[in-house]
Structure 1
Amino acid sequence: MSQETQKTLELEAALGFNGHVVSGLKVHPDQKHLVYPLGWTVIIKRITDGKQDFLHGHNNNVSCLSVSRSGQYIASGQVNFMGFKADIILWDFEQRSVYAQLCLHKAKVEALSFSPNNKYLVSLGGEDDGSVVVWNIETKQAVCGSPASAQSAGHCYTVKFSNQSDNIFVSAGSGTLRVWELDVPNRKIRPLECQTGKLKRIVKCVEITEDDGFVLCGTTSGDVLRVNMKTGLLSDCGPVKTKHSLGVTSLRLWSSGLLLVGSGSGSFSLCSSANFKTLKRVELEKGVTSIALGGHQFFVGTEAAQIYRFSYDDFKAELVSTSHSSAVKDVAIAHGVSELFATCSLEDVRLWHINKPKELLRITVPNMTCNAIDFMKDGHSIISAWNDGKIRVFAPSSGRLRTTLHNAHKLGVTAIAGAGDCRRIVSGGGGGQVRVWELQPNSHRLVASMKEHKDSVTCIRIKSDDRECVSASSDGACIIWDLHRFVSLQTVMANTFFQAVCYHPDEYQILTSGTDRKVTYWNVYDGSPIRELEGSQSGTVNAVHITQDGRHFVTGGDDKLVKVWDYMEGVVTHTGVAHGGSITSVKVCNGGRLVVSTSADGAVLCWKFPHAAVSS
């Protein structure tokens, strides 16, 4: 068989929302879709049924987003490495395709805004760039540009076009607030420096009144400035007494002179735009980063990767989307129940449904990190490994804590696997120990402790007959253990920190991956390497998992690519590009129909597995 041409892995669902992108959540003007970034991807999600479309084209994390007033275009900017240009992509919303690719800014695009009649797009570069550029949407060319702020001023954080004119926009930041006028014939933009008197503020967000009379500025000091756009003079400032905790991070003008204000502490307020007095307030989880207005409802995004819905009739928060906001450490598939899988992260374990990608259950352990999880084969327990040295066993239906194995490992529990008899657990620790535990009706006991590894255990897999298991470690060794005599049967060594290991379904071979960027096949009986593949061009291969028929396997790692391999040929058949962080875990599930991958940025992605399964 000749090497197949690499194809693109099709993304089925994305469980995640990057709440750290300021104003990253938008309601499309058709009032039917939400638009938001996740990693390298822009997601268009239908509000009624959650159906998702994906816009692929960026080669690094999306850093800002804007939707044109007509809804015809979406603009997204990205970050890039120092010394490289950061792209802006203009998307055609109806076609879900790239309309134009714009490239001038260095390292990062900080903010984007469309002019009211779709004529222009204004873009703001990041701290290493510091320029503001106006683009002609029809010609797909830059009209003109300028440094965003005066030399004496600090970094600029936001930019926004006026509501009435295609030639007026505002930029704001640390000690800088400017009203710009575009002079198209002379290809220039001219700034009016706004004067705030003795008030020295860092502005993070702006909102312009419908008649373009005033610009409202949310500051890190927790107050809102009102500045006259024509004169550039400070008109008002408030609230005077009770400022918004941890600064104003998001602002939107509502009808009838009302103002929606989000703060860095998570408080979300309805205020009077006349005197900035708070009329209603709700507390959300972590800082508010986006407020998106849409029809009879509006949506709020937070740093906790949560999306809340509010109706205009009342001011009550309804949580409509939730996901991990920090690195996902592991993913586990429920045995025999192909529709369920679990993920673990800082402070929590979450249970998901594959066909309707939504969170079914969340188990929270405050101030702790869950390093690894597994389902017992009978489906009655989720076993989890925690950095406080404990193994916690939960009921998957209710999330109730069934039992805790205290002091399981001194330096934290780093790997875990459940035996097929549903009575034994094999765990690995930060100190290199591999331990076998027996669960009893109302207690547990340590059956054996095996110590040959010299560094933390990163992965454990148990053979289908429960007679053996294999452990991978950062010490460069994978050890196959006899689970009856509790001795090592075979050791494989390599010049790498092993990150993942799995048995081939026939169980005469194991696959390993690690920091040497290799995927290696090993013979179980004599520990000899059979085959070595270049798993990645750059970075560690953190995860490897093989299909039930043994014909294909999947990998993921620091290169942020999900790869599907032909086992016999040793070639990549399909590559999935969407993750914005290092891939931490990857599993084939749903009877070989889906691949679930997780990453360090909190994303959980479901991919359509491209090969038909062969029944044994």
Structure 2
Amino acid sequence: TRLLHLHSRSVEIMVMLEKVLGITTQTSSALTCDPNTGQIAYPTGCVVVILNPRQNKQRHIFNTARKTVSALSFSPDGKYIATGENGHRPAVRVWDVEEKTQVSELHGHKHGVACVAFSPNMKYLVSVGYPHDMIVNVWDWKKGTLIASNKISSKVMAISFSEDSYFVTVGHRHVKFWFLDESREFKVNLSTVPLVGRSGLLGELHNNIFCDVACGQGKMSGSTFCISYSGLLCQFNEKRVLEKWIDLKVSLANCICVSEEFIFCGCANGTVRIFHTHNLHYLSDLPKPHHLGIDVAGEEMLRRPGATYSDTIALAFDPRHHWLCCVYKDHSIYIWDVKDTRQVGKVWSDLFHSSFVWNVEVYPEFEDHRGCLPPGSFLTCSSDNTIRFWNLENGTHVDFQKNIYSNNLLKIIYVENNTQHLQDLTNLPDRGENANYLDVKSGVRVMQVSPDGQHLASGDRAGNLRIHELKYMDEVIKVEAHDSEVLCLQYSKPETGMALLASASRDRLIHVLNVEENYKLEQTLDDHSSAITAVRFAGNGEIQMISCGADKSIYFRSAQKVSDGINFIRTHHVAEKTTLYDMDIDITQKYVAVACQDRNVRVYNTASGKQKWCYKGSQGDDGSLLKVQLDPSGTFLATSCSDKSISIIDFHSGECVAKMFGHSEVVTGMKFTFDCKHLITVSGDSCIFIWHLSPEITTCMKQHLMDLDQVQQQRKAREPVWPHQVRGGFLLPICALYEEFYVCFHVAHPDLPPLLLSPAPACVLTNGKLPMWAKRLLGEADNADTAAFNSRVSYQPQGRWAERAAKEPIKTMLDADLNYFTPIKNSSLHDSELEPQNLNRLLSEVRKVSLAQGRGQQEGNLLSWLSQPSPKKILLQTELSSELFLPFLPPRPWLCTMCQSDALVSEAETEMTDVEENFQQTSSLPQTPEQEKYLRNHFETLADAQEAALFQNPRLSISTRFLSSCQKNSRWADIYLYFQPSIRERTI
């Protein structure tokens, strides 16, 4: 049963944000504490997380404008929270904490809000804009009016209200005291007045960059404390005069926090120094957090000599419990109990990703508890060069018990033990304005868990493929697989009868590895002409591979067994008019859903390649669909759009049942959990969102799974159980066509050494899902999905060449294009060794073309050369067929058929895929500078050609060796040109 009424329900009811694993705080301006309850508030993209550390529970406030939250401040009574945001026409918003609703919206900035603060009497709210705004505003937030404003010539980084009627701003060579005269508000009759400000007397410290400020409390309410990047702690008196300053003796200082007794200074390398407020006497340091590269599952919290710690970037003090919240540069949070500075204890902590999160995978569940991870676990990978294992369940596991660092994090794998990318390099208060995306080629781009849960395959941005075994978390295999970043990894399902791993990359190649033979390379596919965005395995009992790419093509392939392994041949090719970014296959293996740039989801039949449905995948009118993910039952699919929204759509009807937002960057990965209760999304904002699905959606999924199980049980009861095998075939001698072809060629050129002296190799002809034209030629029934493979005798050839066919079905292969249907596996391209070789030797082999070597080549090399889809070779092949062979060969129709095979295949594929409907094309360009820059860096460039030359990369990857083999086999062209000078002159 379908829930057709779901789309009328509100998003809050259908899907709710349950938990956020991440933080986007960059300075203390985006970290605040409720002085009455001790709750901590911090931003996570477009969502404000209100954390109760004692109960480890979160509440969430959504910025309905979908702009990144850049500044936060609790009101003194804790009932309201003010937020600032960045982007076009940002607003200062005031929210009711209990109701989680907006109570005020104030517009007065153009580019972004750097910091906000309530006055002690809660009557006023102050906001400071980004440098291009150059303005500070004072609001009567309850009335929604601007009562005072002034220009600022410096970049302001922090603000603090004193218990008196003034506030202080600090920044680049800037310390300024601003005074509020309430009498002026009534004199000018509610019009905005200039805000009066006076600079602090810095003396010889005027060239410093002051990064944070805090006004004193209680007996020290007349003092103001500020800190500089250079590590200076300064104290100003009521007359704005610099009274004292001390050197913190650190390489860098970032933040400051003041209570009635203590001053806390956050510095580099995890240091937090504690001083007394009355005399600035040094007391002690807080305990340092975990060191970079910590094993959260095995190590205790001990200081290691020579270890590196993350910088402290934000502080917030809880006066009720005497707790200090510290945020570090690696996006970790610690809450310390500082009631006794000599015995500081940790109250709560968590560790998050510090950079783009590219992919998420849900660990499979097993009934016999043979999994390496506890039930409900999932994995994420990031540009911070880590793979993290999470679990939100409260149960315990023998190997993964709760650790002292995080209640949710089980394990961290540091790829190649590289920790230099763990600290966030975009630590800017106006990140949204500058959008400083550091496109370094580091980090894990994609990963996939094997169906048995024992192996984890991961691909990085440099093209390396790694295999980790999950029982002991050891790296067992590392292969230089590609020349560019790996974009997709996919294991084949157990139902297919084979254990394969497909690796696709921006270098437009797909490598197929045999898992059972220690990930031996089986085949390399080069059908795509641009970056491959997705590859999937499909089929029950038979293996299908489907891939899509930025070249707007979808390729359907079937597997066939050969004597030395497995080989994929192309069965269908669908050419679209829009870029294809992602795809997923439903549980029945019958349909594949593709996310398209025009915001449509196109659903194709995996057997025929024909389009089944096409519906809107995003409710907005801007952006492109980047990701699509089906739930475990195949009832709903989730899509992510470049406008940062997420939609849940009924897979069969195309109706949208829920739409969510909250990430500040595009969603790069999504997964439904196997219990059908949660949807996990990850984004470029470094955050992980866990969405709780409504009981209606969960019930619909489980009911569909039960229906499918009943159908499967009935089918098993009616049909005999056939053993799993991969496309059975039978061996035949090589085609007589090839024999006649070379005999005629040798007669025409007696000076050429004979090529057919050795016995002909065997080829495999399978009875799998061939194109319709090939099935008709082989005598199969018209219905490809139900008809069995007919015997050779049942086929009666027709046409002019019927006599020559002589009832041999292998002869019907003459109508197939050798470039697309090659029953002989190319031995020259097969390479089971994955160890690097010498690049100079490869290059020398490519460049060496010897006539003596060419005359000694056997027919296998010639067939290999003819099967390479190179433009030069295709041109030469055509010329050789028309000018070299035809004048000397008898006029036989089968030769003309072979020469026109490209056209026949193209016409047949066009007929198979001519079901596209006409859709109205709308603009899919990004509408904001942030979206445009992010898409250009990570998604739109997928369709760009490789900038580097073919062998400019010194890596000896599988892709490099494959391309070198292609060039090596091109020496046959020079052999033919030697015998035809006219052709040689034209080609050169």
State the TM-score, normalizing by the size of structure 1: 0.91
Counterparts of 2:616 and 2:692 in 1: how far apart (Å)? Answer: 24
1:540 is aligned to 2:624: yes
Counterparts of 1:74 and 1:516 in 2: how far apart (Å)? Answer: 39
2:222 to 185, 201, 213: 213
Q: What is residue 132 of structure 1 aligned with on the other side?
A: 136
Counterparts of 2:257 and 2:362 in 1: how far apart (Å)? Answer: 42
AA partner of residue 105 (structure 1): H
Verify the 8 A CA contact 2:468 2:477 in the aligned structure 1: no
1:391 is aligned to 2:465: yes
Output aligned runs, 1:10-49, within 5 Å: 10-49=16-55
Aligned-CA RMSD value: 2.5
1:79 is aligned to 2:78: no
1:511-556 CA-to-partner distances (Å, cap 9, x unmatched) read 1113333221123234333333333422221110112332211101
Output aligned runs, 1:434-449, within 5 Å: 434-440=510-516, 443-449=518-524
Verify the 8 A CA contact 1:223 1:244 in the aligned structure 2: no
1:104 is aligned to 2:113: no
AA partner of residue 158 (structure 1): A
Distance 1:303-1:541 versus aligned 2 partners, 3 A rule: farther
Verify the 8 A CA contact 2:135 2:149 in the aligned structure 1: yes
1:53 to 59, 75, 98: 59
1:7 to 5, 10, 14: 10
Which blocks of at least 5 consecutive residues in structure 2 are unaligned? 186-192, 290-308, 367-374, 395-406, 422-441, 561-566, 709-988
Counterparts of 1:25 and 1:398 in 2: how far apart (Å)? Answer: 38
Question: Which is greater in Rg?
Answer: 2
Verify the 8 A CA contact 1:23 1:291 in the aligned structure 2: no
1:455 is aligned to 2:530: yes
1:16-68 CA-to-partner distances (Å, cap 9, x unmatched) read 11132543233322445221111111111221232221112342000000112
Q: What is residue 155 of structure 1 aligned with on the other side?
A: 155
1:359 is aligned to 2:397: no
Runs of 4+ in 1 over 6 A off after TM superposition: 316-319
Distance 1:531-1:423 versus aligned 2 partners, 3 A rule: closer
Q: What is residue 181 of structure 2 aligned with on the other side?
A: 183
Counterparts of 2:458 and 2:661 in 1: how far apart (Å)? Answer: 29
Verify the 8 A CA contact 2:359 2:445 in the aligned structure 1: yes
Distance 1:89-1:384 versus aligned 2 partners, 3 A rule: same
Q: What is residue 380 of structure 1 aligned with on the other side?
A: 454
1:231 is aligned to 2:315: no
1:218-252 CA-to-partner distances (Å, cap 9, x unmatched) read 11222122222x2222212221xx64323x21101
AA partner of residue 448 (structure 1): Q
Instruction: Kindly state the Cα deviation for residue 275 of structure 1 after the two structures are TM-superposed.
Output: 4.7
Verify the 8 A CA contact 1:405 1:444 in the aligned structure 2: no
AA partner of residue 213 (structure 1): G
Distance 1:332-1:252 versus aligned 2 partners, 3 A rule: same
Distance 1:6-1:600 versus aligned 2 partners, 3 A rule: farther
Q: What is residue 293 of structure 1 aligned with on the other side?
A: 317
Is 476-485 or 58-67 further displaced after alignment? 476-485
2:256 to 251, 269, 289: 251
1:62 is aligned to 2:99: no
AA partner of residue 32 (structure 2): K
Q: What is residue 270 of structure 1 aligned with on the other side?
A: 274
Verify the 8 A CA contact 1:271 1:280 in the aligned structure 2: no
Counterparts of 1:227 and 1:75 in 2: how far apart (Å)? Answer: 27
Distance 1:559-1:363 versus aligned 2 partners, 3 A rule: same
Counterparts of 1:493 and 1:605 in 2: how far apart (Å)? Answer: 35
1:513 is aligned to 2:595: yes
Distance 1:281-1:429 versus aligned 2 partners, 3 A rule: same
Which blocks of at least 5 consecutive residues in structure 1 are unaligned? none
Verify the 8 A CA contact 2:94 2:103 in the aligned structure 1: yes
State the TM-score, normalizing by the size of structure 2: 0.58
Counterparts of 2:223 and 2:558 in 1: how far apart (Å)? Answer: 75
Counterparts of 2:209 and 2:124 in 1: how far apart (Å)? Answer: 27
* Alignment length (residue pairs): 600
Verify the 8 A CA contact 1:585 1:599 in the aligned structure 2: yes
Instruction: Kindly state the Cα deviation for residue 502 of structure 1 after the two structures are TM-superposed.
Output: 0.8
Counterparts of 2:79 and 2:471 in 1: how far apart (Å)? Answer: 44
2:652 to 568, 575, 592: 568
AA partner of residue 223 (structure 2): F
Counterparts of 2:543 and 2:27 in 1: how far apart (Å)? Answer: 49
1:482 to 547, 558, 578: 558
AA partner of residue 76 (structure 1): T
Q: Which has the higher helix share?
A: 2
AA partner of residue 240 (structure 2): G
Q: What is residue 404 of structure 1 aligned with on the other side?
A: 477
1:593 is aligned to 2:677: yes
Counterparts of 1:521 and 1:451 in 2: how far apart (Å)? Answer: 24
3-state DSSP class of the match of 1:406?
Answer: strand
Counterparts of 1:556 and 1:159 in 2: how far apart (Å)? Answer: 37
Counterparts of 1:209 and 1:176 in 2: how far apart (Å)? Answer: 19
AA partner of residue 355 (structure 2): S
Distance 1:104-1:468 versus aligned 2 partners, 3 A rule: same
Q: What is residue 280 of structure 1 aligned with on the other side?
A: 285
Instruction: Kindly state the Cα deviation for residue 471 of structure 1 after the two structures are TM-superposed.
Output: 1.9
Instruction: Kindly state the Cα deviation for residue 414 of structure 1 after the two structures are TM-superposed.
Output: 2.3
Verify the 8 A CA contact 1:376 1:418 in the aligned structure 2: yes
Distance 1:547-1:118 versus aligned 2 partners, 3 A rule: same
Q: What is residue 326 of structure 1 aligned with on the other side?
A: 355
Instruction: Kindly state the Cα deviation for residue 140 of structure 1 after the two structures are TM-superposed.
Output: 4.0
Verify the 8 A CA contact 1:581 1:601 in the aligned structure 2: yes
1:417 is aligned to 2:415: no
Counterparts of 1:540 and 1:227 in 2: how far apart (Å)? Answer: 53
3-state DSSP class of the match of 1:502?
Answer: strand
2:546 to 461, 465, 470: 470
Verify the 8 A CA contact 1:508 1:524 in the aligned structure 2: yes
Distance 1:565-1:144 versus aligned 2 partners, 3 A rule: same
Verify the 8 A CA contact 2:616 2:654 in the aligned structure 1: no
Counterparts of 1:172 and 1:18 in 2: how far apart (Å)? Answer: 22
Verify the 8 A CA contact 1:455 1:474 in the aligned structure 2: yes
1:372-424 CA-to-partner distances (Å, cap 9, x unmatched) read 111112222222112233322223354322x1131222324321112234843
3-state DSSP class of the match of 2:204?
Answer: coil
Instruction: Kindly state the Cα deviation for residue 134 of structure 1 after the two structures are TM-superposed.
Output: 1.8
Distance 1:592-1:492 versus aligned 2 partners, 3 A rule: farther
Q: What is residue 940 of structure 2 aligned with on the other side?
A: none
3-state DSSP class of the match of 2:357?
Answer: coil
Q: What is residue 199 of structure 2 aligned with on the other side?
A: 193
Counterparts of 1:360 and 1:464 in 2: how far apart (Å)? Answer: 34
Verify the 8 A CA contact 1:330 1:345 in the aligned structure 2: yes
Counterparts of 2:636 and 2:184 in 1: how far apart (Å)? Answer: 60
3-state DSSP class of the match of 1:23?
Answer: helix
Q: What is residue 167 of structure 2 aligned with on the other side?
A: 169
AA partner of residue 323 (structure 2): Q
Distance 1:154-1:542 versus aligned 2 partners, 3 A rule: same
Instruction: Kindly state the Cα deviation for residue 121 of structure 1 after the two structures are TM-superposed.
Output: 1.6
1:424-452 CA-to-partner distances (Å, cap 9, x unmatched) read 322112322212212358x4311222221
AA partner of residue 532 (structure 2): V
1:456-477 CA-to-partner distances (Å, cap 9, x unmatched) read 2222222253611222222222
1:432 is aligned to 2:508: yes
Instruction: Kindly state the Cα deviation for residue 206 of structure 1 after the two structures are TM-superposed.
Output: 0.2
